[in-house]
Amino acid sequence: MKTISIALQKGGTGKTVLGVSLAAALARRYPGRVLLIDCDPQGNSTEWTYTETLNAELASVLLGKCHLEQAVIQSDFPGLFLLPTAGLDGELKVWDEGAGSRKPFAMREVIKGAAAMGFKYCILDLSPGFGAIERAALVASDEVITPIMPDPFGISGLEIFIKNLMGLRKDLETGKPEYRRIVINAVDNRIKQHGEIVDKMRKGAGDFHQYVFPVDQVFRRAETEHKSVYDMGTAKKETIDELDRLASEAEEG
Ligand SMILES: Nc1ncnc2c1ncn2[C@@H]1O[C@H](COP(=O)(O)OP(=O)(O)OP(=O)(O)O)[C@@H](O)[C@H]1O
Ligand SMILES: [Mg+2]
């Protein structure tokens, strides 16, 4: 099983858009074998992919209130399963601010359980914070992908993320997660600065793989309609092409 976190210590850069869409892309390839885990106390990816009432959530599992099997549900997306987080009324914040700090490997147990359930991919949508839940999620991941927006603040957000990631690896003496993919999100070709930043990042990319997603209103509409961008039928060709390329490459190694 492969576990991929979507993370960056900066709000609103497209983590949820990317996490939900990558999970949907993989679920098209491996129906029933992809688990989206909502690790953000805001519960945005849960709200997008599931419309029924929740009986249990990720925090219920972390707090020992139920078994993983009881909290994993079929989402509203074809072939995609969800380990949800219940937004405002949820308990993930409670775990994060309480027991979480003493349990750096708690998400590893959740991931082990998901592997035992037969999942092939776990995609973790993280909040912009760097508390117990984000650290536990990163430590449990094989890979982390960061979405940034093409502005100077986006790049400084990336520097903070890299510093935190290095610190985490050092603290916990783990080589994980691997970090070699960056998504430059919401690129508008009509904006000169966007083109310049994309060029600059391409030149300085080194071993990093880069993926460029255009500004596409389909994401907002898909959120409102609780659908994946694939099921909307109105996504830009570049959006779907780049998402498919990311899914193919992330799938492999
Ligand atoms: N490529 C895009 N084109 C147009 N709108 C986008 C794009 N990517 C993201 N958005 C919009 O920007 C907003 C923020 O995106 P998203 O919720 O994915 O960010 P986030 O990083 O998960 O935020 P948070 O840090 O709060 O978790 C959403 O309303 C989303 O629809
Ligand atoms: Mg989010």
pLDDT digits (tens, 9 = 90+) for 6-59: 999 999 999 999 999 999 999 999 999 999 999 999 999 999 999 999 999 999
Residue 11 beta carbon below 6 angstroms from any ligand 1 atom:
yes
Query: How many domains are there within the chain?
Result: 1
Q: What's the gap in Å between 12 CA and the centre of ligand 1?
A: 5
Could you tell me the pLDDT band of residue 89, with boundaries at 50, 70 and 90?
A: confident
On the question of pLDDT at 99 being above 70, the answer is yes
Residue 17 beta carbon below 6 angstroms from any ligand 1 atom:
yes
H runs (alpha helix) in the chain = 15-29, 44-49, 58-62, 68-71, 92-97, 106-116, 132-139, 152-172, 192-203, 218-225, 229-232, 237-252
Task: For helices 152-172 and 192-203, give the axis angle rounded to 10 degrees.
Answer: 30
**In a domain? residue 34:** yes
Give 170: exposed, middle or buried? Use CB within 10 Å, 0-12, 13-18, 19+. exposed
Q: What is the mean pLDDT of residues 218-241?
A: 97
**In a domain? residue 207:** yes
From 5, 6, 17, 239, the mutation candidate for ligand 1 (largest count of ligand atoms within 8 A of CB) is 17
Q: Model pTM greater than 0.75?
A: yes
CA distance 216 to 154: 18
Q: CATH number of the domain at 60, please.
A: 3.40.50.300
Q: What's the gap in Å between 171 CA and the centre of ligand 1?
A: 31
Is the dihedral angle over the CA atoms 186, 193, 10, 8 positive or is it negative?
Answer: positive
Q: What percent of the chain has pLDDT over 90?
A: 84
On the question of pLDDT at 229 being above 90, the answer is yes
Closest CA to 27 of 69, 75, 65: 75
Q: What is the pLDDT of residue 111?
A: 98
Q: What is the pLDDT of residue 206?
A: 81
Q: Which two tokens stand for residue 203?
A: 């030149």
SS3 37: strand
Q: What is the mean pLDDT of residues 185-208?
A: 88
Residue 49 beta carbon below 6 angstroms from any ligand 1 atom:
no
* CB count in 10 Å sphere of residue 36: 28
Q: What is the mean pLDDT of residues 66-77?
A: 98
**In a domain? residue 253:** no
Tell me which residue range forms the domain holding 126: 2-243
**In a domain? residue 219:** yes
On the question of pLDDT at 62 being above 70, the answer is yes
Q: What's the gap in Å between 11 CA and the centre of ligand 2?
A: 7
Q: Is 129 left (phi over 0), alpha (psi -120 to 50) or beta?
A: beta
Residue 216 beta carbon below 6 angstroms from any ligand 1 atom:
yes
**In a domain? residue 249:** no
Q: Is 133 left (phi over 0), alpha (psi -120 to 50) or beta?
A: alpha
Q: Which two tokens stand for residue 68?
A: 């993983």
Residue 167 beta carbon below 6 angstroms from any ligand 1 atom:
no
Residue 215 beta carbon below 6 angstroms from any ligand 1 atom:
yes
Torsion of CA 30, 32, 36, 37, to 10 degrees: -140
The answer to whether 91 and 59 have CB atoms below 8 angstroms apart is yes
Ranges 107-121, 137-151, 170-184: which has the least confidence: 170-184
Residue 12 beta carbon below 6 angstroms from any ligand 1 atom:
yes
In the chain, DSSP finds a helix count (H) and a strand count (E) of 12, 8
Q: What is the pLDDT of residue 173?
A: 81
SS3 3: strand
**In a domain? residue 10:** yes
Closest CA to 62 of 103, 97, 34: 103
pLDDT digits (tens, 9 = 90+) for 74-86: 999 999 999 999 9
- The ligand 1 atom at the shortest distance from the C-alpha of residue 125 is 22
Q: What's the gap in Å between 5 CA and the centre of ligand 2?
A: 12
Residue 127 beta carbon below 6 angstroms from any ligand 1 atom:
yes
**In a domain? residue 32:** yes
**In a domain? residue 250:** no
Residue whose CA lies nearest to ligand 1 atom number 8: 14
Q: What is the pLDDT of residue 253?
A: 65
On the question of pLDDT at 143 being above 70, the answer is yes
Give 192: exposed, middle or buried? Use CB within 10 Å, 0-12, 13-18, 19+. exposed
